[in-house]
Amino acid sequence: MTQAWDKARKLGVLERMLVIRRFEESLVHLFNEHAFMAHYHLYIGQEATGVAVIETLKAGDKLATTHRNHGHVLARGADPARAMAEILTRTTGLCNGFGGTLHLTDPDIGFIHTSSIVGGCIGLATGAAFALKNEGGDNVSVAFFGDGSLEEGISYESMNFAALWSLPIVYICENNSKGALGSVKGGFPTSVSAVKDIKRMPHLFDMPCEEVDGRDLDAVFAATSRLVDHARRRKGPAFLHAVTDRFAGSKPLWPELPAGDTDIAMAWQTTPFTGEHADWYQNHDPIFLYVRKLMAAGDITRNEVTALDRKVSEQMAAARKFALESPLPPAETALDHVFG
């Protein structure tokens, strides 16, 4: 389906993937420089899924997402400088410094919430779908979540409610368990569900489900387009199971860049990759995969990719400067927005 896009649109989605990648890499450096202290979760390796899903949406659609939220918010069009300032808890941030990394959000572009509670966004997005149905029109709600959310009861309660009321929502499960931290590494098992085939779960509620390779932007866009169209036509909820990969640097408890910042020229490297991360560069990095596809089709040149990456890198440098120079909230505002 994306083959019919003009060059500007293809470059646009590539640019959004690069924005996410360079933004996340900047955060690793900022954390290592002690510019912020909170635990954080990166979207590196999953850019194709988030960008492709959001490319199917329009103004007025609602979104809710998880603690791994940076990529979704940026893909929807949030200002990277204000997003970075928010993660550094500065007053110029998207939430005036009160949200931080785990609750980074931007209601102006349709985000109702990002939640650090596993599965929490699913109920909120379902509620938004209920509101959209009552308002009329054809807007939809989208919930992004990981496979671990399907261990939470609210997931099934929400899907059951959405099916009963034929709500206009698309559930997006980004399954990155393959590269997740196991209990032997000091973390937790990635799944304790008795049902190992995730795409069977939405079928319990008679909702359409598609399973795709989350590294393949074209495949994700095509599948999500069908599911979003189903919801827009008020035929009920739908479910996308995107099988994705966390990048190698997500294996420790704190993110790292084991091979440094991404070298975009590796996308067209002709010699075999070597070393510990060779398979990642050759077969898993979604940006490399998309660049290779565009180049093979004659849609883009090496010089154009390099120039686009340089433009994005300069944008991230400006975002970093803006965030670091922005003030921290005054102490007297600590209890602002606290209710009870």
pLDDT greater than 60 at residue 23: yes
pLDDT greater than 90 at residue 30: yes
Domains identified in the chain and CATH numbers: 2-333 (3.40.50.970)
- Residue 185, pLDDT score: 44
pLDDT in tens, 239-276: 999 999 878 777 667 888 988 899 999 999 999 999 88
The full 3-state SS of 118-170, as one line of letters, equals CCHHHHHHHHHHHHHHHHCCCCCEEEEEEHHHHHCHHHHHHHHHHHHCCCCEE
pTM above 0.85, yes or no: yes
CA 89 to CA 163: how far, in whole Å?
39
Q: Which residue has the tokens 């994700």?
A: 220
Are 84 and 23 in contact by the 8 Å Cβ rule? The answer is yes
Mean pLDDT of 49-72: 97
Q: Which residue has the tokens 């922005």?
A: 326
pLDDT greater than 70 at residue 1: no
Nearest alpha-carbon partner for 87 in 68, 100, 71, 98: 100
pLDDT in tens, 150-194: 889 999 999 999 999 999 999 999 998 764 444 434 434 445 677
